[in-house]
Amino acid sequence: MEPPTGSGEVAGSSNKADAALGYRYWTGKPGDGVEAPAPKPVPKKLSQEELAQTAQAGPSSGGSAWNKAGTWEERNLTAWGKDRLGELLKELDEISFPEGRARVTEMSSCTGDATQFFVRGKRRCGYHFEIDLKWKGTFKEEEVTGMLKIPEAAFGELDEVTVETTFDSSKVLTTDSKVSIRTAFSALVPAIVERLSIFEEELKER
């Protein structure tokens, strides 16, 4: 008996033998009993209702719903942190000094960042800011202005908070009056630390 010739006969014999043994293989050509590959999944955009259900199903630790394992997640809270610090520090009390008084009017600049982490289901946070506050007051019934700078405000380092007072150009301020204003603003450090403590607690619960 002559051996079968032609690739089709060989492939057919192989298919029959494999089928008998319970094997299947892909030849790259659908048809003749060979199954075509399954279609690729099509991305589906979630509706607002589905998004809300996903958010509600999130972990109780405060992380995102997609991170139920709680392995690692980082949230940038810098924008919120800057706004909140501006609100808290604008509430500082007015200071008084010989022949004058002054108070912080607004936050001029705030550089740095605030971040919240979820590591293995545990919430951690941190921040580091350099803050400039505008102040305005009067000395001998003349308006005086300047900046109150907080060179470093960092999480867990509130005992190291210091302030620096600078002055806009003014002909009325004397060397002694500047010393008095700096001393008065330095006395606000405990109040600044108190507000930074409030900020830290709010950051933890964000």
Tens of pLDDT, residue by residue over 69-109, are 556 688 999 999 999 999 999 999 999 999 999 999 999 99
Please give the average per-residue pLDDT across 134-162, as a whole number: 97
The first and second tokens of residue 96, run together, are 């008084």
185 or 169, which is more confident: 185
Q: What share of the chain is helix, strand, coil (3-state, %, to 5)?
A: 35, 30, 35
- Given this model, what pLDDT does residue 8 score? 45
Q: Per-residue confidence at 189, pLDDT binned at 50, 70, 90?
A: very high
- Quote the pTM value: 0.65
Q: Match domain 73-204 to its CATH number in 3.30.420.10, 3.40.109.10, 3.15.10.20, 3.40.50.1370.
A: 3.15.10.20
Mean pLDDT of 37-55: 58
